[in-house]
Chains A and B, each alone.
Chain A
């Protein structure tokens, strides 16, 4: 098997020792968790809210072809051009083609994880376009030459002081860690770009099938600019973003803001119907339906519910592993529990092979997910399911052998007793060898390995069983 260039498990074991990262994560996640809890407490019946949301997603994904076809027809009926992209390369080429045909030189990009997933920014830059990220967090990432570490808060891993240093280096702003001064500086820097841009690109949070209306959520107002100032507007959407109708969209939206940032409603919600805008000059509009592995996941059956995800980020905000290692250690566009499950399916390969191991299966992610994706169940299934992951992620030979041996010892009362005896004897005669083996298994410095009891429960049982308990009377 090919060696990974970026092994997430090794990265995580290292990242957990980064004190600055931990401080940034604690600060950001602590606040988000509290705000989320407050925002959800207002809802009259959260379990029912979640069930309805899950039902909407299940129904839509179980009838994906019907709804995506309806959406396509509604968009086309309103004069919006629809493109299908089978994979990342096709999606990037489609946008390159649109920009070439439009003679575009400057592109403004609204925050989109899908754009990140398909590598749109480098793809457009390679085509000679001047590409500007317009979301503040994404702009920081772009200027820093970094990668987002969270689906809704791309530079969550950075402190305001670090952002100040990035702006000092790239924008010539005197160093400051005042968030307001930093965002003012970024906005000022972007203004010229907005006015210059001929092409605007957005992601899509929800796409309403029956009307062709696209919904985009944000907090800074930049989506308004991206969709109104340029001549040409392209919206990229994963095919799983479709919902049947407006009531479904509103229900999911109500949960999205609360779960993502603890907001009752996102700061800005942009709705673009195919006929938009009703008055004034209309931009040339394109929508790109991106597959990039989604139909494969859809067809795989057991993993379909991973496509219900609305990218709120609640699972990573709640995850004790993410909260200690941050998003970069996952090495994929999508970090956290959803990423640990989705990445090996979207991008099968050595770099994503061990991601499903990055969970204690504690279940917090499944508890918080607004659309009730059974994330721990997916992670467990993926651990044993190399075929669904292009053959990657098969446990190593040593582990397979160990579990086969373990099964043998566990498959008979006498063998089991032998295993107890061997263990106890080894601890008595060669404790240093046992210590080395335990150390190789991860139980080393900082955590004493458990020692077998001198007498196991089963060895004590005959004595427990013999005299009937008298204290009963």
Chain B
């Protein structure tokens, strides 16, 4: 479970569990898990990131499949772990594990019994392509589209500049806050102009960035949701 979800957005985690179970899978959560190390890696603290990568390997080595509702955590584990200063043995364990680590939508698309999803969400939804989900995971966007196509009543809208970053970028949001905010505001303006009921994205970071700007502006725009909230109907309009 992404640490941002655990801490700030547990509803996304609950929705992920619910959807996986409904699509025919048994789900467990190992409470020893913390963070995959991505924040440290992206900020250039490789030793700290490597420590958490080792921890991740220890905890998840035995799992049949590891599934997370996050493009960036999954790309960290399946891709960037390979660039960390890990021992040969750890690298071998990583190579064995990485093919069993999935982003939730990829996993549902490949192994989920989507006929059992049976969910309805009436409204127009714009898809914001979270950067790592879009660029670092092969075939994730088409997989997500196929999964969302199973939601009755949901109309997917292509947003303008859908592939442009929301401006979060981890420590970027703190180091270049003015630039980060400008990117987020532009993203929200494009969303507002698109006339959608909600925006679905694939990473908690984008979600916190866009919701944070909406909240500070004190006005309700289209709802910013994680896509998994559409799969349970949890993100229903108020």
Contact = CB atoms under 8 A, between A and B. Distances in A.
B83 interface: yes
Contacts of B168: 360
Interface stretch (B32-40, B104-112, B145-153, B194-202): B32-40
Nearest to B204: A450
Contact of B7 (A380, A441, A453): A453
Interface residues of B, number: 75
Interface in A349-379: 354, 356-364, 366-367, 377
Chain A CB count within 10 A is highest, among B18, B32, B39, B42, for B42
B6 A458 contact: yes
A450 B165 contact: no
A321 B182 CA distance: 9
B29 A461 contact: yes
Contacts of B167: 320, 360
Interface residues of A, number: 69
B4 to A, nearest CB: 8
Nearest to A470: B21
A447 B55 contact: no
B143 interface: no
Interface string B169-189: 111111111111111110000
Contact of B169 (A362, A407, A413): A362
Interface stretch (A122-130, A199-207, A396-404): A396-404
Contact of A451 (B5, B8, B182): B8
Contacts of A413: 31-34
A452 B44 CA distance: 26
A452 B171 CA distance: 18
A465 B131 contact: no
A455 B10 contact: yes
B180 A360 contact: yes
A436 B136 CA distance: 35
B35 A410 contact: yes
Q: Which 5 A-B pairs have the closest CB atoms?
A: A360-B169, A383-B44, A384-B44, A442-B177, A362-B165
10 contacts: A9-B176, A357-B176, A359-B172, A360-B170, A381-B83, A400-B45, A407-B40, A443-B173, A446-B185, A469-B21
Interface of A: 9, 12-14, 16-17, 320-321, 324-325, 354, 356-364, 366-367, 377, 380-385, 395, 399-400, 403-404, 406-407, 409-413, 416, 420, 423, 441-453, 455-461, 464-465, 469, 471-472
